[in-house]
Amino acid sequence: MCGIVGYIGDKNCVPILIEGLKRLEYRGYDSAGVGIINSTECKVLKTKGKVSELEKLVFAEQIDSGLGIGHTRWATHGEPSTINAHPHLNKDKTLFLIHNGIIENYLSLKKGLEKEGYEFISETDTEVLAHLIDHYLKLKNSLFQAVRYALNEVEGTYGICVIYNGEKDKIVAARKGSPLVLGIGNNENFVASDVNALIAHTKQVVYLEDGEIAEIYKDHFTTKTIADETIIKEIFEVEVGVDEITKGGYPHFMLKEIMDQPDSIFNSMRGRLVYDEGISKLGGLQGFEERIINSKRILITACGTSWHAGLVGEYMLEQYAGIPVEVEYASEFRYRHPIITKDDTVIFISQSGETADTLAAMKEAKKKGALCLGICNVVGSSIARESDAGVYIHAGPEIGVASTKAFTAQISVLALITLLLARRRNLSLPEGQEIINEMRLLTKKVEMILKQNENIEKIAGQYMNCKNFLYLGRGYNFPVALEGALKLKEISYIHAEGYPAAEMKHGPIALIDDDMPVVFIATKDSVYDKVISNIQEVRARKGRILAIVNEGDEQIENMVDHVIKVPKTHNMLTPILTVIPLQLIAYHIAVKKGLNVDQPRNLAKSVTVE
Ligand code: F6R
């Protein structure tokens, strides 16, 4: 979703803004712009399309200034176009605003402003806010107060930055529902929608909370609430290094992140396994274990890939910890008036920790008194900060829009939570130790799968022109079927559906012919024989079959067109291995089709609006 970056200091802001916007490109966007103010001019440059286009425009102007803001827009109100791109301006072209979020009451605000003679040139909700701030600027004669008064009238979500020619010594930034972080430098300060845009310049950051407004000067900053009360903010040190947000020699972030998985899975477990006791140790849950163990029910809520990880978590927790679990899309959970009690534990899974639906679901669950746990990747993200307790997955920055290493690390953390709860309930020491042994072997087993990359690429070549795919799995591999299908549709734009294999007979079987490849995830588990029957049913209808099977499985190999083999592991850890070939298949098909793998069309890395 929209990316925000701002700079104030002694350096020329232009290269800093452009570099920051490039680091935010992974979030997904369709247009970009900068607003720059110096002693002689106020300049806004915007374009539809890529930051590289904006870069050409901006450098051609040879502007030099120590104050500027930049934005990548992901269209919500109004098509992607230069006019709709940010910054938006007041009539005098002296005030520039960039915004991430949605002003829900923009139409009524617009009507009021039109009555006062304000005119609008774009279709956006953001332009309304620019004029509303201008309206209050005329009344209050202070940018900070104008922003504050305007925001008091706004319903919806925002992360905004404003600069004004009349007050060139500051950027005013505010947040409600859309992330904003200040970067504290030496005689220079920054602001951005995520730390990736800042870490080349500073590791010292301040996270703004909802309802907070900051005045950022080059040598200090102040923060107040929207009600005008001063607040003192803590400065944090971020650990992410610049090398972690570069491609490291790989052609795409997605491939780098798939290949990172031996490390990311290892990091998600590091220091958390206690073999002698056959249990896991999760510092982030300390003090909350009893309440979780005694929960009448665990709810897991998330979106997209994180929701698929949640489904795996449901199977694990019910099978081994014996606690009833329900998994729900965060977007549905927030609106359907769910029955939640103080005896429930609700787990929110989010790579970014900023997904608007998941965050809103958490607010709902908190209101009802449930214990809220976050499973997040991005340290310091909103969900991580606002949950009662939680566990970081420590997968490292995930830049490719299609989530890969976060998924396997989320499952690994869910396995750790399962182990903790199960051991405190019924799981025996040897069973706990067996799980730990298998968790420790995962890194090697993932490496063995990644070594098959070339072969997987060849297989991908044989399927790249297919128009539809069906992914089928049972038990722990049903969520993997959903995830495999999601990966393919996201980055290759091929229609793909995931189904529980047994459900095929209840409808999707009608689709099967020699044009419809079926991907079976068919590892040797308790439903193996049943999946073989499903494979036979597809064969009988001349469907092409690619199967993910365990090493040594010759039975399926002799029945299908292609197999990719993965090592055997503990049944609840199977998804960590079986999903990897599916990530690679999706990746190679998209690359072979010449598509933009890291920034697929219409998608955003972190969905910070509803
Ligand atoms: C899929 C994907 C999305 C995200 C979803 C939730 O590859 O990336 O489906 O999983 O938008 O995002 P987070 O986990 O950041 O809440």
pLDDT for residue 597: 93
**Is residue 27 very low, low, confident or very high in pLDDT (cuts 50, 70, 90)?**
confident
pLDDT for residue 207: 94
Q: Which of 334-338, 498-502, 589-593 has the lowest mean pLDDT?
A: 334-338
3-class SS letters over 182-248: EEECCCEEEEECCHHHCCCCCCEEEECCCCEEEEECCCCEEEEECCCCEECCCCEECCCCHHHHCCC
**Is residue 555 very low, low, confident or very high in pLDDT (cuts 50, 70, 90)?**
very high
* Cα-based distances in Å from 98 to 6, 31, 271, 298, 419: 10, 12, 42, 40, 46
pLDDT for residue 95: 97
Q: Supply the CATH classification number for the domain 452-610.
A: 3.40.50.10490
Residue 167 has pLDDT above 90, yes or no: yes
**Catalytic site residues?**
2, 605
The answer to whether the pTM exceeds 0.95 is: no
Specify the CATH number for 247-446; select among 1.10.3210.10, 3.40.50.10490, 3.40.50.2300, 3.40.190.10: 3.40.50.10490
Q: Is 167 helix (H, G, I), strand (E, B) or coil?
A: strand
Q: What is the mean pLDDT of residues 211-215?
A: 97
Q: Write the residue with the smallest CA distance to atom 16 of ligand 1.
A: 350
Atom of ligand 1 nearest to the CA of 605: 8
Q: Is 71 helix (H, G, I), strand (E, B) or coil?
A: strand
Q: What is the mean pLDDT of residues 73-82?
A: 89
Domain boundaries, the chain: 2-244, 247-446, 452-610
Residue 146 has pLDDT above 90, yes or no: yes
CA–centroid distance, residue 269 to ligand 1 (Å)? 21
pLDDT for residue 154: 96
**Is residue 198 very low, low, confident or very high in pLDDT (cuts 50, 70, 90)?**
very high
Contact 200, 245 (CB under 8 A): no
Q: What is the mean pLDDT of residues 355-383?
A: 93
Q: Which CATH class is domain 2-244?
A: alpha beta
Do 452-610 and 2-244 fall under one CATH topology? no
Alpha helices in 397-527 (DSSP H): 405-424, 429-450, 453-463, 477-492
CA–centroid distance, residue 316 to ligand 1 (Å)? 21
**Is residue 272 very low, low, confident or very high in pLDDT (cuts 50, 70, 90)?**
very high
pLDDT for residue 241: 77
Q: Is any atom of ligand 1 closer than 6 Å to the C-beta of 583?
A: no
Contact 329, 303 (CB under 8 A): yes
Preceding peptide of 575 cis, ω within 30°: no
326: enclosing H helix or E strand: strand 325-329
Which pair of tokens denotes residue 584?
A: 């690679």
More confident residue, 542 or 151: 151
Of 22, 156, 42, 149, the closest CA to residue 95 belongs to 42
Q: Is any atom of ligand 1 closer than 6 Å to the C-beta of 352?
A: yes
Q: What is the mean pLDDT of residues 173-199?
A: 94
Q: Is any atom of ligand 1 closer than 6 Å to the C-beta of 490?
A: yes
**Is residue 77 very low, low, confident or very high in pLDDT (cuts 50, 70, 90)?**
confident
Residue 438 has pLDDT above 80, yes or no: yes
Q: Is any atom of ligand 1 closer than 6 Å to the C-beta of 301?
A: no
pLDDT for residue 245: 80
- From 196, 303, 348, give the residue whose CB has the most ligand 1 atoms within 8 Å, as the site to mutate: 303
Write out pLDDT tens, residues 314-325: 999 999 999 999
Residue 573 has pLDDT above 80, yes or no: yes
Q: Is any atom of ligand 1 closer than 6 Å to the C-beta of 178?
A: no
270 burial level (CB within 10 Å; 0-12, 13-18, 19+): exposed
**Is residue 504 very low, low, confident or very high in pLDDT (cuts 50, 70, 90)?**
confident
Report the alpha-carbon angle 307-181-268, nearest 5.
40
Of 420, 354, 421, 422, the closest CA to residue 387 belongs to 354
| Locus of tokens 């910070």 | 608
pLDDT for residue 549: 97
d(CA 552, CA 34): 58
pLDDT for residue 589: 98
pLDDT for residue 505: 84
**Is residue 67 very low, low, confident or very high in pLDDT (cuts 50, 70, 90)?**
very high
Q: What's the helix, strand, coil split of the chain in %, to 5?
A: 40, 25, 35
Residue 456 has pLDDT above 90, yes or no: yes
d(CA 286, CA 272): 12
d(CA 411, CA 575): 8
**Is residue 512 very low, low, confident or very high in pLDDT (cuts 50, 70, 90)?**
confident
Q: Is any atom of ligand 1 closer than 6 Å to the C-beta of 350?
A: yes
Q: What is the mean pLDDT of residues 214-220?
A: 97
CA–centroid distance, residue 596 to ligand 1 (Å)? 18
CA–centroid distance, residue 403 to ligand 1 (Å)? 6
pLDDT for residue 325: 97
Looking at every residue in the chain, the average pLDDT score rounds to 94
Residue 223 has pLDDT above 80, yes or no: yes
**Is residue 75 very low, low, confident or very high in pLDDT (cuts 50, 70, 90)?**
confident
pLDDT for residue 180: 95
Q: Is any atom of ligand 1 closer than 6 Å to the C-beta of 305?
A: yes
pLDDT for residue 247: 85
Atom of ligand 1 nearest to the CA of 303: 6
Q: What is the mean pLDDT of residues 159-180?
A: 96
CA–centroid distance, residue 424 to ligand 1 (Å)? 31
Atom of ligand 1 nearest to the CA of 378: 15
Residue 380 has pLDDT above 80, yes or no: yes
Residue 281 has pLDDT above 80, yes or no: yes
Q: E strands, 518-586, where?
A: 518-521, 545-550, 562-566
**Is residue 255 very low, low, confident or very high in pLDDT (cuts 50, 70, 90)?**
very high
pLDDT for residue 437: 98
